[in-house]
């Protein structure tokens, strides 16, 4: 017996009507992502392995920011050096590959090497996060500063009502200080605390550092006791040599 076409049409329509609510319900189900209901993954907690220490390296305030054991940012006065860990027999040594090195043993002593300048011995407070007064405030530049090489030496005269002549020889191994030195037309002189005679004399002639080639406005001779040292220097605020007539 063959089914009537009308009966077949009604059967098909009934099936479609029965299925339609299910399809609508499925399409109406909220999309948790689109609706913003999905719970986001927890954010990673901020981590920091930075440690900041302050040092005084000779005449320069230094702030060292260590990042783990691999890198450090060393701020020397107004100059910033980004350094990487370097091989050292002891302590923590960082360098930038350009001749600038900061090498510490603990957090209270170390050595600062700047390209073309004698090494400076460093002392620190040993307290993390503490910026020494010398590093926190921009110290006034010395009135006069001179350096020399082989062996490295440094001499500087501080400005102010009570000038002080500070001298380092032997790459910072020997240090002398003359309070209120006698000032002449071509330099300063006086006795250190241990009785050593100190004298710094200059001539205003162009002087080129024999290692870096940098030009200075004065040729300098430093006398410590019976020994003489030769090098170059300049006064604070002196214009660039190229600008001089």
Q: Say which CATH number the domain at 59 has.
A: 2.40.128.200
Return mean pLDDT, the chain. 77
State the total domains in the chain: 2
Residue 14: per-residue pLDDT: 53
**pLDDT of amino acid 196:** 94
225 to each of 164, 170, 176, 228, how far by Cα in Å?
Answer: 18, 14, 11, 8
- Enumerate residue ranges in the chain where pLDDT < 70: 1-49, 127-141, 160-161, 237-245
Domain boundary among 136, 169, 199: 136
Q: Which pLDDT belongs to residue 124? A: 84
C-alpha distances in Å from residue 94, one per residue of 98, 112, 129, 200: 11, 10, 19, 34
Inside any domain, residue 96:
yes
Q: Is residue 129 part of a domain?
A: yes
In a domain, 57, yes or no: yes
Same domain (yes/no): 148, 232? yes
Alpha helices in the chain, H assignment, sequence order = 5-28, 133-136
| Structure confidence by residue, pLDDT tens digits, 50-102 | 788 888 998 888 888 988 778 899 998 778 999 999 887 778 899 999 999 99
Q: What is the pLDDT of residue 36?
A: 41
Residue 245 domain-assigned? no
Provide long-range contacts, Cβ within 8 A and 24+ apart, for 164-167: 165/190, 165/198, 165/200, 166/59, 167/192, 167/198, 167/200, 167/222, 167/224
- pLDDT on residue 171: 85
Is 126 in the same domain as 156?
no
pLDDT score, position 102: 95
Q: Which residues form the domain of 167?
A: 144-236
pLDDT at 49: 66
Question: Do residues 110 and 160 share a domain?
Answer: no
Domain edge (last residue) among 118, 136, 154: 136
Residue 97 belongs to some domain of the structure? yes
Q: In the prediction, which pLDDT does 60 show?
A: 87
123 and 165 within one domain? no
CA distance 65 to 219: 37
pTM of the model: 0.44
pLDDT at site 154: 94
Cα–Cα distance measured from residue 65 to residue 25, given in angstroms and rounded to the nearest whole number = 61
């Amino acid at each position: 017996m063959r089914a009537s076409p009308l009966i077949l049409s009604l059967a098909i329509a009934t099936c479609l009507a029965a299925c339609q609510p299910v399809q609508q319900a499925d399409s109406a189900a909220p999309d948790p992502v689109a609706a913003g209901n999905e719970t986001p993954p927890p954010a990673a907690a901020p981590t920091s392995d930075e440690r900041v220490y302050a040092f005084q390296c000779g005449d320069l305030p230094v702030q060292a920011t260590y990042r783990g054991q691999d890198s450090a940012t060393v701020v020397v006065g107004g100059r910033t050096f980004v350094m990487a860990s370097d091989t050292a027999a002891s302590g923590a040594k960082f360098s930038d590959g350009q001749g600038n090195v900061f090498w510490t043993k603990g957090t209270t002593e170390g050595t600062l090497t700047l390209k073309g300048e004698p090494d400076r011995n460093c002392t620190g407070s040993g307290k993390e996060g503490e910026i020494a007064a010398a590093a926190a405030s921009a110290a006034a530049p010395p009135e006069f500063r001179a350096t020399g090489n082989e062996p490295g030496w440094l001499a500087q005269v501080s400005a102010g009502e009570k000038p002080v002549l500070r001298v380092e020889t032997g790459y910072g191994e020997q240090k002398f200080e003359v309070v209120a030195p006698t000032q002449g037309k071509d330099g300063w002189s006086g006795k250190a605390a241990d009785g050593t005679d100190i004298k710094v004399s200059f001539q205003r002639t162009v002087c080129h550092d024999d290692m870096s080639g940098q030009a200075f406005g004065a040729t300098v001779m430093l006398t410590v006791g019976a020994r003489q040292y030769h090098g170059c220097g300049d006064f604070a605020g002196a214009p660039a040599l190229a600008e001089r007539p």
